[in-house]
Amino acid sequence: MITKRIIPCLDVKDGRVVKGVNFLGLADVSSPVKLAKFYSDSGADELVFYDITASSEGRALFTDILTQVASTIFVPLTVGGGINTVADFDRVLKCGADKVSVNSGAIKNPSLIEEAAKKYGNQCVVISADVKRVDGVFRVFAKGGRENTGMEAIEWIKHAVDLGAGEVVVNSIDTDGVKKGFDLEMLDRVLNAVSVPVIASGGAGSKEDFVSLFKTLPTVDAGLAASVFHFGEIDIKDLKKELKKNDINVRI
Amino acid sequence: MIAIIDYGVGNLFSLSSSLKAVGADTVLTSDPDEIRAADKIILPGVGAFGDARQKLCDTGLDRVVIEEVKKGKKIFGICLGMQLLFEKSFEYGEHEGLGLLKGAVVPMEGKIPVDFKIPHIGWNALDKKKEHPIFKYIKTGDFVYFVHSYFAADCDDSLLATTDYGREMTAAVALNNVTGTQFHPEKSGEVGLSILRAFNEWED
C-alpha cells in the first residue's frame, strides 16, 4: 500500500538555509546540502527547496546548490520560489529537480500551469496555494502571503488542477507558525474538490499533529513542515515510528 | 561501460548522478556505435509512450537497441523506458512497443478502485516474485518511488516484482537479459541505488 509522505521544506537564501537550524552532530547547520543529506538519512520521503532570493546572483547560487543536492541525494526533489516562466521550469529541472511548485507566478499567469504540464507532464507541476480566511471565505494570497488576490481558494485550486497541476500544496496562513496542528477544515474542503494528491502545510507543532492529520483526513497524501524539523523539535525517524504505531502506513 | 540512451525524453541528470554514485561507468549517448560498443544499455523515459516511441523510431535507435538486446546485451528500462520494452501500449490510442517482452501497457483508470488517485505517486512496497541478478539486494517490503498512470499487464514469466495499489500492479520485470522497473531507482534512496549497483555488477 502506498505510504503517507513526510516532507521537510528548506527555504534557501543566498545559498544558505534561512530558518535557524539546531541539530546535534551537524556542524554546518545552515548548509542546504548537509541538511538535505541529514533529512534524507532520517527518512524524509521528499525534499522541498524554496528559493527566496530576489537577486540574480542568489538565483545562480541556488541552482548550484540544487545541482549539488541532486548529485548526492536520491529522493524526489521539489523546487519552488521565483517560478514565473517555462524557462524557470527548465532551469531547475536541468539541475535535478523532479517537480516544480508554482504559486504567485501561476496567479499572475495561469497558463504557465498548462504550458508546463504539456511540456513536462502533470506529475511535474505542483500548485502551491497560500490560503487564509477573510470574513469566513477562503482566499488565495500571493507574494508570500502578503497580498490578498481576492480569489476564492477552492475554486482557484480546482482551476489549477484542471489546467494540469498534478499535485496541490495547501498552506494555511491561519495555522502557519501557530504550531497547534494543520488546518483540517481547509484541507478537507480541498480534498473534496480535487482528485490529485494533496500535501498539507502550515501548523505542525508536534508528532501528534501529523497523527491527527492522517487519522482525520485519510485521503491526504503528505505532511510538509519546516521549522519543527529544522529546530529538531520533531525528529523524522521518531515521527514515522509514531505514525506507524498509530497504523498509518509510512516508509521506515 | 553502460550506455544511457539519450533520445530527448526527460531529464537524465539524476539518473547519471545515481549511477556515478554506485561506481558505474556510463555514457549518455544517441550514437549507434557507442551503444553497440557498450556492455549494457539503460533505456530511460518520461512522458507519453507514443511520443517516446516516435523519437526512438525517428533516430533509428529502436532498431539498434532491438538488435543489441537480441544479441544478448543486457538492458534496463526505467519507468516509460520499461514500458517501451513491451509489445504495445494503450496510452492515447494503441502504439507498438519494442516487443522485447510479452505483455501490454494499460491505463490504471477503470482497473483500480475509484478512490485510488491517478497518477500513482509516492513510495510503495515491493513484493518480490522471483530471483534475478538485478534484484539480488532486494527483499519483499522494500520501498521504492513511483510516478505513473499506466502499468504493464500480462507480463507472464518476466514478472519480477509487484506493488499493491488497489490491485497487484507490475513494479519490475526481468527475463534473461531484458529488465526494467516501473518505479524510479534513481529516486528511491538506498534501495534504488542497490538495484543500479546490482545492474552494474551483473555478469553472466
Q: What is the pLDDT of residue A26?
A: 55
Strand partners, A11: A50
Is pLDDT above 50 for A11? yes
**Higher-pLDDT residue of B111, A26:** B111
Say which residue the cell 504493464 belongs to: B152
User: How many angstroms separate the first and last alpha carbons of chain B?
Assistant: 16
Mean pLDDT of B76-101: 96
Is pLDDT above 50 for B195? yes
Is pLDDT above 60 for B47? yes
Question: What's the one-letter identity of residue B86?
Answer: F
pTM of the model: 0.94
Q: Where does the pLDDT of residue A141 fall: very low under 50, low under 70, confident under 90, or very high at 90 and above?
A: very high
Domain harbouring B28, CATH code: 3.40.50.880
Is pLDDT above 50 for B178? yes
Residues of A with CB below 8 A from B141's CB?
none
Cβ B94 vs Cβ B60: under 8 Å: no
Residue % of chain A over a pLDDT of 90: 78
Cβ B104 vs Cβ B94: under 8 Å: no
Mean pLDDT of B178-203: 97
Q: Where does the pLDDT of residue A13 fall: very low under 50, low under 70, confident under 90, or very high at 90 and above?
A: confident
Average pLDDT, chain B: 95
Q: What is the pLDDT of residue A28?
A: 59
Q: What is the pLDDT of residue B77?
A: 98
B122: helix, strand or coil = strand
Is pLDDT above 50 for A20? no
Q: Where does the pLDDT of residue A235 fall: very low under 50, low under 70, confident under 90, or very high at 90 and above?
A: very high
Q: Which grid coordinates are listed for A221?
A: 497524501
Cβ A133 vs Cβ A141: under 8 Å: no
What CA–CA distance (Å, rounded) separates A171 from A237?
24
Q: Where does the pLDDT of residue A121 fall: very low under 50, low under 70, confident under 90, or very high at 90 and above?
A: confident
**Beta strands per DSSP E along chain A:** 5-13, 16-17, 47-51, 77-80, 99-102, 125-134, 137-142, 147-152, 167-172, 198-201, 222-225
Residues of A with CB below 8 A from B192's CB?
74
Is pLDDT above 50 for B149? yes
DSSP B98: -
Residue % of chain B over a pLDDT of 70: 99
What CA–CA distance (Å, rounded) separates B200 from B178?
14
- As for how many domains chain B has, the answer is 1
The size of chain B, in residues, is: 204
Task: Provide, for chain B, the percentages of residues in helix, strand and coil under a 3-state DSSP scheme, each rounded to the nearest 5.
Answer: 30, 30, 40
Q: Where does the pLDDT of residue A19 fall: very low under 50, low under 70, confident under 90, or very high at 90 and above?
A: low
| Counts for chain B of helices (H) and strands (E), in that order | 6, 14
- Structural domain that includes position B22: 2-201
A-B Cβ pairs (cutoff 8 Å, strict): 76
Cβ B89 vs Cβ B104: under 8 Å: yes
The size of chain A, in residues, is: 252
Nearest to A3 among B21, B47, B143 (CB): B143
What CA–CA distance (Å, rounded) separates B17 from A12?
23
Q: What is the pLDDT of residue A27?
A: 52
Cβ A93 vs Cβ B11: under 8 Å: yes
Mean pLDDT of B149-172: 96
- For chain B, say whether A40 makes contact (Cβ under 8 Å): yes
- For chain A, say whether B193 makes contact (Cβ under 8 Å): yes
What CA–CA distance (Å, rounded) separates A182 from A134?
18
Domain A5-245 has what CATH class?
alpha beta
Mean pLDDT of A16-23: 65
A73: helix, strand or coil = coil
Strand partners, B3: B27, B41
> Could A122 and B119 be called an inter-chain contact, meaning their C-beta atoms sit closer than 8 Å?
yes
**Per-domain residue ranges for chain A?**
5-245
- Say what the ipTM of the complex is: 0.91
Q: What is the pLDDT of residue A195?
A: 92
A23-57 pLDDT, tens digit per residue, is 555 555 678 998 999 999 999 999 999 998 877 78
Give backbone dihedrals phi and psi of B112, rounded to 5 degrees, phi first.
-125, 160
Cβ B138 vs Cβ B129: under 8 Å: no
Mean pLDDT of A196-203: 96
Question: What's the one-letter identity of residue A81?
Answer: G
Interface probe, candidates A1, A2, A37, chain B, greatest B C-beta count within 10 A? A2
Q: What is the pLDDT of residue B194?
A: 98
Backbone region of residue A69 per phi and psi (left: phi > 0; alpha: psi in -120 to 50; beta: other values): alpha
Q: Report the catalytic residues of A.
A: 11, 130
DSSP B186: G
Q: Where does the pLDDT of residue A177 fall: very low under 50, low under 70, confident under 90, or very high at 90 and above?
A: confident
Which residues does B131 contact at the CB level (< 8 Å), separation at least 6? none
> Could B187 and A94 be called an inter-chain contact, meaning their C-beta atoms sit closer than 8 Å?
no
DSSP B123: E
Q: Where does the pLDDT of residue A211 fall: very low under 50, low under 70, confident under 90, or very high at 90 and above?
A: very high
> Could A197 and B121 be called an inter-chain contact, meaning their C-beta atoms sit closer than 8 Å?
yes
Is pLDDT above 70 for B31? yes
* Burial bucket for residue B115 (CB in 10 Å: 0-12, 13-18, 19+): exposed
Q: Considering only residues 77 to 116 of chain A, which have any Cβ-Cβ distance to chain B shorter than 8 Å? A: 93-96, 98
Q: What is the pLDDT of residue A1?
A: 87
Q: What is the pLDDT of residue A2?
A: 94
Give backbone dihedrals phi and psi of B142, rounded to 5 degrees, phi first.
-65, 140
